[in-house]
Amino acid sequence: MISKTQSIGIALLMLGVMTGSAMAADSPACKLLTPAELEPVAGKLPAFAPMGGLPETNICTSSSSAGTRVMLRLAMRKAGGDSPEAKGIEAAKKMGAIVDVKTSGPITCSTIIPPKNLQAYGFNTTCTVVKTGQVAGVEVTVKAQKDMVPIDKLRPLAEKMRGRF
């Protein structure tokens, strides 16, 4: 028999699950790509979950059982000055990371291989696309350099995102 306290706990858990699912369904970043579309490059992923972000920024994440982390972002792009992405790339270079950047039209992709002392944080491939005052990004972080997603495999997903915001 389930106690009244356990029943309330189960009800709250179910409400949290349903609310999380509803939030993901309403989250613009969670609609940029599906786990199935990412599977060829990131492996099997559960559904995306929304994260609290900065004002005018929407973030969703998913992680595989193998430790691959995927983040989808959608944010307003402020006019003028360096982009946050460019600032992040410069900061990574200053820390000793090996950075490769490829730009084609509105899409910019990069890989970041951190210095030895930061490799516990993972190896990253990111593609962003700018459209109508917004920027969308897909970021894949893996535990080992050998598992990094090549830019050429992530870039087509940025093309898909471009049509979804």
Maximum alpha-carbon separation in the chain: 63
Question: For residue 43, which amino acid is it?
Answer: G
Portion of the chain with pLDDT greater than 90, in percent = 66
> How far is residue 95 CA from its own chain's centroid?
22
Model pLDDT for residues 80-127, shown as the tens digit of each residue: 656 777 788 888 899 999 999 999 999 999 999 999 999 999 999 999
DSSP 156: H
Q: Write a three-state SS string for 112-149.
A: EECCHHHHHHCEEEEEEEEECCEEEEEEEEECCHHHCC
This prediction's pTM? 0.80
> What CATH code is assigned to 4-162?
3.40.1000
Say how far apart CA 61 and CA 70 lie, in whole Å: 6
> How far is residue 5 CA from its own chain's centroid?
37
User: In the chain, where are the structural domains located?
Assistant: 4-162
Cβ atoms within 10 A of the Cβ of 147, count?
16
Model pLDDT for residues 33-62, shown as the tens digit of each residue: 999 999 999 999 999 999 976 678 899 999
Cβ contacts of 97-105, under 8 Å, gap ≥ 24 = 100/151, 102/151, 102/155, 104/155
Q: Which two tokens stand for residue 20?
A: 């999380």
Q: What residue has token string 């495999």?
A: 153
